[in-house]
């Protein structure tokens, strides 16, 4: 297998010029996204450049405490981003969502890194940080959709919740339709993506491994494992997040508190 072809810095900078294509359409149809795209693209470049620098340092040290600290920072950033996007009160929701994120990451990482890949050193930065990052990155998007749907449903259909609660006298039964809707809306896009993977799309991780010199068979095995880990991680994170926030949005009498945002 031939070695990977590196990309020069000038070529990398020149690659940004292809943004002219969507910018022309934005200009023609008066779509005011050019500034936002430019800011996002520049931020992406700077942030990923910094990631390259500190990941080189983290990978070199490969210290379990530093690796765990970095994963903790990723969880915290993901939780705070979710809270901001769903417009929740961070003082109320920070701890419940952090516990959900930490628990889901611990379970999925322990299973895949310890049992499937069978790493001798489970905190190996080259596996521990990228795999955890992919799980958390995907969980962020699905948590935002799921929690927004769940909380909005409870607020807009509170009559249904109280009707079910009064008639069944069970919190779980009253919350069931709201949890179902949140889970389905959050996970449907991922399920659809999984169903066509390999037919109309080649995942980024698999493409990266092939470009890095891995055999297609090895890349595919890792991609299947990663997709399963991401799906389970997202599902578990969202489900635990809903269970945890129920402890703060419902009082001891199963009444919804007035202000949850």
pLDDT tens-digit map of 18-64: 999 999 999 999 999 999 999 999 999 998 888 888 888 888 889 99
Q: Is the pLDDT of residue 200 over 70?
A: no
pLDDT, residue 250, reads 87
- 15 band by pLDDT with thresholds 50, 70 and 90: very high
Structure-token pair, residue 56:
């080189």
Model pTM score: 0.81
Q: How far apart are CA 250 and CA 199, in angstroms?
A: 45
Radius of gyration of the chain (CA): 21
Q: How far apart are CA 57 and CA 51, in angstroms?
A: 10
Positive or negative: CA dihedral 209, 210, 214, 216? positive
pLDDT, residue 258, reads 62
State the DSSP code for 32: T
CA 244-133-118 angle, to 5 degrees, is 100
């Amino acid at each position: 297998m031939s070695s990977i072809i590196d990309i020069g810095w000038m070529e990398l900078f020149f690659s940004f010029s292809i943004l002219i294509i969507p910018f022309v359409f934005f200009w023609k149809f008066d779509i005011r996204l050019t500034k936002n795209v430019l800011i996002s693209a520049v931020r992406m470049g700077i942030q990923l450049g910094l990631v390259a620098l500190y990941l080189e340092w983290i990978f070199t040290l490969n210290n379990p405490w530093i690796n765990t600290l970095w994963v903790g920072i990723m969880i915290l950033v993901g939780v705070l981003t979710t809270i901001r996007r769903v417009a929740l009160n961070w003082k109320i929701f920070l701890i419940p969502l952090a516990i959900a994120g930490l628990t889901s990451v611990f379970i999925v990482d322990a299973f895949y890194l310890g049992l499937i890949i069978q790493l001798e050193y489970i905190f190996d930065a080259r596996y521990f940080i990228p795999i955890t990052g992919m799980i958390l990155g995907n969980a962020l998007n699905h948590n935002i959709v799921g929690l927004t749907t769940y909380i909005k449903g409870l607020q807009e259909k509170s009559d249904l919740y109280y009707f079910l609660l009064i008639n069944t006298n069970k919190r779980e039964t009253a919350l069931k339709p709201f949890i179902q809707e949140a889970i389905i809306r959050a996970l449907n896009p991922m399920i659809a993506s999984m169903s066509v993977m390999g037919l109309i799309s080649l995942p980024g991780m698999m493409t990266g491994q092939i470009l890095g010199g891995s055999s297609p068979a090895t890349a595919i095995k890792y991609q299947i494992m990663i997709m399963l880990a991401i799906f389970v991680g997202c599902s578990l994170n969202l489900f635990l997040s809903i269970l945890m926030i129920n402890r703060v949005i419902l009082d001891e009498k199963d009444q919804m508190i007035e202000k949850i945002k």
